[in-house]
Amino acid sequence: MTVLSVNVNKIAVLRNSRGGDEPRVTQAAEVAIRAGCGGITVHPRPDQRHIRPGDVYALAEIVRGRVEYNLEGNPFAPPRGEYPGLVALVAAVRPQQATLVPDGDGQITSDHGFDLARDAARLRPLIAACKSHGARVSLFVDAGCDDVERAAEIGADRIELYTGPYAQAHAEGDARAVLALFAQTASRAQAAGLGVNAGHDLSQANLAEFLRHVPNVLEVSIGHALIAEALYAGLEPTVRAYLRLLPPRQ
């Protein structure tokens, strides 16, 4: 079964734009869990543009024993101010999954996967450190990654396919070639013993088609589209609508 992990970053963006505590990321997580999601995702950044370390700790208490906690971030980014670094946050809250993403302050959002030929040696000890704190480790990669198998060689448990190019092709009306590339990359990863997750720009409009063509996706992490849709329909009904798009439990 594909797990829906709801990314609550955008709730923090709205809160931070005004100051204070509203809307509360913890309350949004509660609603998503009540609606039936299987996980909560956050992506704290050193610039604290949305999720802050305090949110990471508070959400850990909310989700513990209920759903999976997925902590995303750039493992290469050093501590800054109140941000202690990704591995330190993993050590503090012990999420079920740490998703390593090569993003920087200059990116509005994550927009590419790791270059494993370049980054493998640096990633290996960071993967080991996250796993030593009980986290399953997933690496953010692009469809068509030439050496996706290297993710397994350096200790990762899963990959997360960056689905932005698929979402764009779908919106333009013909995603067949892109979907074939995603399916091929997923199959290669699975043959190497890796689980496959997916995320970025997935929405109610494009999720079902993606899952029909890309086999055995274990988790989809969805935030921006889900929160945008929830502004119109409400958060709990929107989470339930996504759940209806997932394959039935085997």
Residue 43 a catalytic site member: yes
Per DSSP, helices labelled H in 99-163 are 116-132, 150-153
The residue annotated as part of the active site, out of 50, 160, 200, 219, is 200
Residue 219 a catalytic site member: no
Which class for 28: exposed (0-12), middle (13-18), buried (19 or more C-beta within 10 A)?
buried
User: By C-alpha distance, which of 13, 56, 63, 3 is closest to 33?
Assistant: 63
SS3 90: helix
Look-up: residue for tokens 């302050």? Answer: 105
SS3 18: helix
The residue annotated as part of the active site, out of 43, 50, 219, 229, is 43
The residue annotated as part of the active site, out of 72, 160, 219, 229, is 72
Which CA distances in Å does 99 have to 172, 175, 192, 219, 243?
A: 29, 26, 18, 12, 22
Half-sphere exposure of 175 (CA within 13 A, CB side): 23
Backbone phi, psi, residue 153, to 5°? -65, -30
Q: Is 3 left (phi over 0), alpha (psi -120 to 50) or beta?
A: beta
The whole-angstrom distance between residue 80's C-alpha and the CA centroid of its chain comes to: 22
Reduced DSSP (H G I as helix, E B as strand, rest coil) percent helix, strand, coil of the chain, to 5: 45, 15, 40
Tell me which DSSP letter residue 201 carries. S
Residue 30 a catalytic site member: no
Catalytic residues: 43, 72, 200
